[in-house]
Amino acid sequence: MQMTIFVLPISMLLFFVLFFGIGFILNMLLRMSWIMAIIYPIIAILIIDKVRFIEYFQNTGEALSSLGVEFSSLALADILILSSGMAGAIVAGITIRLLRKKGYRMF
């Protein structure tokens, strides 16, 4: 399926805002500045790969080889969209750290 030039920036913005918001709320509630940046690669793997999560523990070799094939077949648009989600998670961590440094307390 082809992605139009209008869909790509909107998708990137949505992923950035989505994971910034989730990361900001998790950081605020759990008081761990980088929790979403740590969790995001797992979420990205679940988005990309077609095997069940339990397969990584039952059939590790097959699941990881399938993951490698899926990673190598990603289109540039998919990489950009997933990267913008990771950027949103990282910016959420930076924002929380700056707010805490300036004296803002959340909860």
Q: Which structural domain, as residue segments, surrounds residue 53?
A: 34-97
| Residue 93 belongs to some domain of the structure | yes
| Residue 50 belongs to some domain of the structure | yes
Query: What is the C-alpha to C-alpha distance for residues 38 and 67, in angstroms, rounded to an integer?
Result: 19
Provide the residue type at 1 as one letter.
M
| Residue 63 belongs to some domain of the structure | yes
**pLDDT tens by residue, 20-38:** 999 999 988 888 878 888 9
Q: What is the pLDDT of residue 2?
A: 74
| Residue 60 belongs to some domain of the structure | yes
pLDDT(105) > 80: no
Give the DSSP letter of residue 6: T
- If we measure between CA atoms, which residue out of 36, 61, 31, 56 comes closest to residue 45? 56
3-state secondary structure 25-79: HHHHHHCCCCHHHHHHHHHHHHHHCCCCCCHHHHCHHHHHHHHHHHHHCCCHHHH
| Residue 104 belongs to some domain of the structure | no
| Residue 14 belongs to some domain of the structure | no
| Residue 2 belongs to some domain of the structure | no
| Residue 79 belongs to some domain of the structure | yes
In the chain, the number of structural domains is 1
